[in-house]
Structure 1
């Protein structure tokens, strides 16, 4: 994008040059761009845009008047002149009602108005060419399992094609475990080792004469009509196409009718060969297509376009079994099996856990809730679920597990089959206080001997062992440890450790010199936020916790400011903060004096702060009221602070759903 070009009173031009020598690219050239004069309202260019929907982009020299009536002002020399137009700034997008191919004349009539209601003085006429969309086929969705109903529907999309070839390879049930050694359920490597083709036929897409095949259309292939699904088998369905099926215009090529005849089933010889190489896309070429040219790979008029990267495939498993598997750090596995059609739990499902060598390492059956637990004797690799003739498959290796990076999976780790938790009767202790610590032990996974000793150790903030206690009796798994610190013990964070059966559990113990407030303090501004232009005006009130008035006591109020996010309820999508500014503030004393006989004081201050703020601030106040003996009570209070009377926000485009990034 080139900006800051100035339109002058007469037409000017700018020359754009490029040279790829510095980047090692053998390409250079130049182009002259016209800049229209001020007041010269005209069409700059008209370009055909091909994609999911065809349209013509007509760009003008001035922004256009929104909501103006364009009926009859834009015409196309096609059989059907019905079009839909959309105005966007200085662009009009013209959408034909039918898919067009070929060259047509576009006429933009005078009378179209710019944003100042000035009409374009002259007609504009040019030739536009609509090209065919490249032939393509696409699978819809990304699932493998289809519930076992009367129909096995596989949806797909195709464009610029009269037909597609469908090849179905059956992966036999007794070979699925071998197939999953090198594939997940959606992959199709080394099919020749585990399956054979059962169907290869041509599917006609032009049976409906009213269907415009040059546009993207959705079709559905009912697999149950062309084959009988074997229970437990996985089917690889592949869609391919040939140049003869293409509707892309190439020098008036026509497609012989014989090319659309149904193909015979693939010969067995190709699959009985013990050659280690898998079949490739060359198997789908017509004779004479071996002359592949990489530079013609995107040209539908060349044989080189019709290669495997244009074809799609999908594995299909007809099953009602939905399986969830979880494994803990102790190696125990949990399975849940539900009916994909009704989501109801399925009981009595036979589960077999296999290792990588396809040997059974655990068996189980689901209970009435569809659950089952097993502990495999070796590392599991896959699961086979059986319900009559139906089968369900799931790989259990580490690489197939779902990522947990977006979930909070923190927590206590089970140590050697033991779970433990330490807690105290409060959160903070003073030096010299008694400490009543409790420890809860869960040893059901690895039972300890009766009266097994448990060690409790208390460490001071310097990491020195302060006290050790032993306990071998409990009440239903609750162990009590009673200890205390000396009155002159150091304050800070102490650590309690409980050791049992080779496992260690820890908890921090806070020893602090705590002096509670004896005065209640209230700093009231009377408003939900403060503006700099209005100053800081507040009422300070204090009274003793007993209810008596805190008369004539000395008080101080200090203020500091910190950056906050500027938001307004009606403009949640806008950013009002300046990311280029950094804000820092020091404490400032805004009041020092005595309360009156009713315990009140008025605060009036006009701080010089916020000129370099990125946006809204938080005003933080620390208020101290001193007792006659010198001790004081303290209160902290925060209120939004607006250093500006007005804000300007920018609404940025949203990024992608997963990371919030803007992709280009």
Structure 2
């Protein structure tokens, strides 16, 4: 399929770019993650080779209720001026029916956006009528595309809360602050209908707030009088209005002012291992608590006061039990003291079963004996799968795949079955003992043919029966954390599988680019010396060769008059192939002074800056620029256009300002909650 050419007024381009980094704090549950033991993933259709040649991504598996249904073509289909314009012709058909509209999100990605959140837990099938979408492509063998996906169910992630000081500051009053998290969005009215609060058997009102993603809700009871006897606040969640698997109830106790005691003990072992002693009221922060806490058997530990807690961390061993004593004499802010010692036995749970690679990184030179190392704790065996990406489909893989090679990566490889083939699969029995973290090596030379170079996708995984001790999945609600409790359904997705892309090569590339001039340096990873004779290709996002050059005796290849954006660089030398993906492998220069200016042939210069360098999806961005011509001035109210590109090389925004004074312009725009994270690029045209 060919992209139709479009023509328009030419603009002079300012030689200045601004990078925006958007970091996600809140995450959707990824597709493919089962939310309950009963929820089954929608069966993915089988696609023909004709479809694979034209399509690089189709929405499938389990998706969020607010997620668009997307189909991404391998090549550009529409002109830039058709992006973000809804289609008038109905080309999507679903069963059950979904009301909504189709829109081109970029020149290659067609999305169907529902008018309302999709029905939770519902399985959908559908078709995209390609013949109706592209009537001019009559010769294409691709006439329609089958769709199948399922919407995730809503589940409760967390219900927590605590009593705090009232705004009056009086000892006779307290406030309560609670937090409720769900896996899927819901309205605040739905939450209010589902949750009841009663204090000593009587209903009590709260002030509710909802986070923008509609998954986290906080509630506050601003004033609760403290009586002469203990008061009980009960928080109940009714499952039906929210479509939850089951309801939940939690009780919180408010003690009288003159009563000060230990409410409970809680262990923790995320990072530091220790326990928290939670008291019935806030502690006297001025009191020296040394000697008031003892542990048997004796270990070295440190203490920290925090509101109504004493946090104790130390060299506690997993699987071991300890006797904790909070001695009498500890006081709260109102002067009441602990009248008798509180003794409690705690046992630190065994380390959670987990696996992770020893190092970040993607390159594996032959000098490393082709060993990929990983560590495991409380796992009996792992399944190793290796896929090889074809050299001819490397560009397609880089279009849709994450090249993230972090040690704990749990996101799978997108479209790996379409661009590669499985070359090895085996089960490795581990020798680890309970709570011992041991290191193992995967000998790639035994899994791939000798001398084979290129890109490989390595995945490790284990099942519940491989855990030490074996841990069965708990029913809904009988676990403490959806992702981090080994009994929870979400634990297997987050911790029981890891992925690493591995490039077996002895060639390293360094790419410098400024304006239309680019330089690539090829280095031998074994000797650290330059390599001459490497064929270097600058390639576009569509995997088209922009320019080709061969490195000289200093390992240097230069490119001039590069008029297109370089998505990645590929190097070939004898049987070696390597690549450099600009969007994912750029140097972090945030700690270095790399300031300077770039002047284009029109002698236009621009200073571009934002109100801050890091944003979250949903944040408002203020992007300002000062433009100057060769005379140091700039025409008043001259039109300036901003083109904002997301990490997927999709145009997310195109806006033109026609009001500017002395070359000063300010663009204001708000990112969406579901925007992709990574480095965004702003291109200014004047």
Normalised by the size of structure 1, how large is the TM-score? 0.45
Structure with larger RCO (C-alpha < 8 A, sep 6+): 2
Normalised by the size of structure 2, how large is the TM-score? 0.44
Larger radius of gyration: 1
